Amino acid sequence: MMNKTILLAAVAAALTSSLTTAQGPDVIAFRIGFDGGNSNDLHYYGQNGGIAAYSFATQSCNVGSSSLSWNSGGTSHPVISQNMFRLKDGRFEQLGQSWLKHGFCALCEGGCGNGSGSGCASQLFVGCADTYWATLNDGGGGGPKYTVNPVSGSHTHPDPSPSGNNTIRGRLQCAVSDMDPSQNPNAEYLIEGGYMAADDAANGNSGNNMSWRLINVLSVSNLSGGGPTNAGETALHGWRNLDPSVTLVGMTNANEGGSGRHGYFYVGYTATDNGDGTFDYSYAVENLNSTQGAVSFEIPAGAVSLSNVWFNDVLYHSGEVQDNTDWVMTQPAGGIKFSCTQTFAVNPNANALNWATVYSFGFTTNAAPVAGTGVLTLFEPGTGSLLTAPIEGPGTPGPSTGVAFCFGDGSGTTCPCNNHGSAGQGCQNSTGSGATLSASGSNSVSGDTVVLGVTGAVSGQPGLFFQGNNAVNAGLGNAFGDGLRCAGNSTIRLQVGFVDGAGTTVTSIGIASKGAVSAGQTKRYQFWYRDPVFSPCLNGFNLSNAVEIVWGM
C-alpha cells in the first residue's frame, strides 16, 4: 500500500471535526443487582449435581441521543447477559454464565437521566432507565449465546429453549465448590451484566455495554450486594480494582462488523514475586463483543521451565452448542501459548473465547517479568487474524526497543499551559496524567515486529500513530495543542488508534513496511490523540512522548 506524507495539523483538524461524542442509541447496564430500593436483588434457585443456579437484577439506561428499540418478540430488542467471577489466590476466574434474557418492553424510570415516557413501551427513551428484577432475568426462560452476533448486536428468532434439570437449566450456573465460603477462604466475588442491541452496535456504541459489581457470598444460597455498580466497565476492570498490581490493556479488532463497529478484547495480567526466586504469573483475556472470538493467546517468554500451569474457562450448558474442551499449553520459541484444540475450519463450535466470557491462564517460573508483545489469534475468519498488545512475560526475548525522548514532564520544553505530566509521560491531559508511548519487538526491518503502544491517553477517543525523520527542536519538541510535537519532517501517518477504556491502544500493522523504512535509518515516532472535553489548555488534542528507533537488517 502506498504511504501518504501528511501534515500533522491537517490530520488533527480532520479527526477533530469528523469524530464527535457518541450518537444514536447507547444502552448501558446502569445498575446490576439493584431493583428499586432493594440493593440485594440476587436470586438463588437451588442446586443439582453440584451446580448452583442464580440470577440477578439489571437496570438499563439509554445514555445516547435517540431511542433504543425494545420490541417484544422478533429481533428488535436487547439481550441481557449475566456472569459470575472470583478472585482467589491471585487467580481471576469466570465461574459461570447464564442464558440470555430477551427484552420485551421498557419502562421509563428515573435515576439515570431526564428522560420521559409512559407505559411499557417498545423503545427505551433517551435518559430513561428500565429494571428487570432478578427472577424476571431468569435464564431458564432465556436464549443461548450462539444465536447472537455480538459485534452487530443482531440475533435470530425464535430461540431454542434450554434443556436439562429444571432447577438449574439456562440459569447462571456455578459449581457449589466454587461458591462455598468454607472452601474459598479470602476469596472475593463479583458479577457482570450487560446489554447487547443491534441499534446500539450500529452506532458504534458497544464498548460500554458491560458493568460489574462486587458481591458478598455469605453462603452458597445467600448472596448480597457488596458495593456500587461500575457502569461501562468489564469484569477485568473489577480485577484491577481488587488488585492494583494488575495491568489492563485493551485490544481492538477495528471495523470487525463494518465501519465503526469494532470488536473489543481486554487483557489483564500480574506477576507476583514469591521471594524465593520464583514468580507466579496470572493472565485473563475477556472478549467483550467480538464475533470472531479468539482461538489462542501467546505470552512472550524466554526458554523457561514452568510449574503449576493452569487454565480456566467457563462451562457452556443447557444445550449451548459450544464444546467445553480445555485449552492446551505449548512453548513455541519465544512464547508460552494457550490454544483451543480445534480451529474454526475443523469445528465451528470449538471452545473459542466467545463474547461476554473470560478465559484465564497462569504458571510459576523462575524468570522475572520483562516487557514484550502478547498475541491473540482470532477464531473465525474476518477483518483480521490476530491482535497484539504490550504485556509482560517471563524472561522475554526482544524486550522494549528504541529510546524514549521528548517528555512533557517539565524536564525539557515547557508544556503549553504548564500542564506537565509525570516523569516519562507526555503533557498532562484531562485524565490528570500524560500519555506514554513505548515500542516493543525487534528493530529488524525484515522481521517488522515492532509494536507501538500507548498508555494514559483519553479513553473512547481516536488518535494517530505517526513517523517522522527528525527530532523536533533537538529532541525537546515544540508546543502543539496541549502537548509537544517531537517527531517531524516528512511525517507519515501509520495507523489510527482507538483508545480503549483502560486508556491504551497499540499498532497492529508492520511499522517498517508502512513507514517505508530501510535498514540503517533512524526514525522517530509519536501518538497524537483527541481530548475534546476538559482539555487542560482548551485545544482539544494532545500528544505522547516520542520514541526513536535505529532500524537494522
As to burial, measured by CB atoms within 10 angstroms (0-12 exposed, 13-18 middle, 19+ buried), residue 245 is exposed
pLDDT for res 400: 61
CA distances from 369 to 178, 246, 279, 374 (A): 30, 13, 8, 13
> SS3 string of 9-42?
HHHHHHHHHHCCCCCCCCEEEEEECCECCECCCE
Q: Can you say whether residue 474 is alpha, beta or left, with left for phi > 0 and alpha for psi between -120 and 50 degrees? A: left
pLDDT in tens, 304-323: 888 899 999 999 999 999 99
345 secondary structure, DSSP code? T
Gap between the Cα atoms of 26 and 330, Å rounded: 41
CA distances from 21 to 295, 498, 532, 541 (A): 33, 13, 9, 14
Gap between the Cα atoms of 1 and 20, Å rounded: 29
Task: Name the stretches of the chain with pLDDT < 50.
Answer: 1-21, 396-399
pLDDT for res 71: 94
CA distances from 236 to 103, 213, 226, 250, 487 (A): 26, 11, 17, 10, 35
| Residue 514, SS3 per DSSP | helix
- Nine cell digits for residue 346: 475443523
Gap between the Cα atoms of 73 and 158, Å rounded: 8
Q: What percent of the chain has pLDDT over 70?
A: 95
pLDDT for res 467: 98
CA-based end-to-end distance of the chain = 21
Element (H, E) at 183: none
pLDDT for res 9: 36
Chain mean position to CA 487: 30
The CATH code of domain 401-550 reads: 2.60.40
The residue behind cell 516493543 is: 440
List, by residue range, all CATH 2.60.40.290 domains of the chain: 248-399
- Whether CATH 2.60.40.290 fits 248-399: yes
Gap between the Cα atoms of 284 and 97, Å rounded: 16
